[in-house]
Amino acid sequence: MARVVLVTGAARGIGKAIALKFLENKDIVYVNYNKSDKEALELAKAFSNARIIKADIALEEDIKKMIDVIKSQEGRLDIVVNNAGIANDTLVESKTKESFQKILDVNLIGAFLVVKYAREIMEKGSIINIASTNGIDTYYPYSLDYDASKAGLISLTHNLALELAPNIRVNAVAPGWINTDMNKELDEEFKDKELKKIMLGRFGEAKEVASVVFFLASQEASYITNSVIRVDGGSR
């Protein structure tokens, strides 16, 4: 039986690479998007097993409706990937309570709400949260709000792993620098400095994160829960 998968923020970037892995495996994939309507439609055209679903992960009502749609169409959900995320790289002085809250609403509270509602139609399966090495040990003053949200997401992963065991495995993947839109405006000098800290000497590709997520969702990972797996090329 085809698995029913939800990937948030799945029309572009890492989320799209994750959705493609499941789509190519013939799973039924709910491709959530917020602003990328055009990219989502392209995926729907290319794959008959793609179900595109618009929802702003910062809004509880949108999340509730999205899960209701999956419930009415499939009656169940097997795999959830909390991938939607935003950053706001600015100096501390430029950040505000509102800008900090916006990061938490998508990256942390959004992931919590997706699980809260998805849980109602998930008897067993796997949840994978896309965190970041910034939530573990990479310090970067411009993104203290983002880093805190990802540390929170890792904490959420641990608590959910305990609460939802043994039927649902909950893990996090923590990417380092990955080539996506999120990093396309990096200053060249800064990028060169960061490259020197990576053992493999390059930024990663979205599909290199996707393959780890696909593994964690599979039966091959049946004894893995509560883990945070770094996909960072060996960053120091």
Say whether 13 sits in a helix, a strand or coil.
Answer: helix
Look up residue 99 and give its two tokens. 């800008």
Q: Phi, psi at residue 222, to the nearest 5°? A: -60, -20
List 56, 78, 145, 147, residue binding ligand NAP (CB under 6 A): 56
Say how many residues touch ligand NAP, by CB under 6 A: 28
Residue 125 CA to residue 94 CA, distance in Å, equals: 41
Is the CB of 130 or the CB of 216 nearer to ligand NAP? 130
Residue 98 CB, shortest distance to ligand NAP, in Å, is: 15
List 31, 50, 84, 114, residue binding ligand NAP (CB under 6 A): 84
Report if residue 180 touches ligand NAP, rule: CB under 6 A: yes
Amino acid at 121: I
Is 139 part of the annotated catalytic residue set?
no
Catalytic residue among 117, 142, 146, 223: 146
Is the CB of 80 or the CB of 167 nearer to ligand NAP? 80
Task: Tell me which stretch binds ligand NAP (CB under 6 A): 41-49, 72-80, 175-183, 210-218.
Answer: 175-183
Which residues from 155-174 bind ligand NAP, rule CB under 6 A? none
Active site residues: 146
Interface positions with ligand NAP (CB under 6 A): 8-9, 11-15, 33-36, 56-58, 83-86, 106, 130, 132, 175, 177-178, 180-183
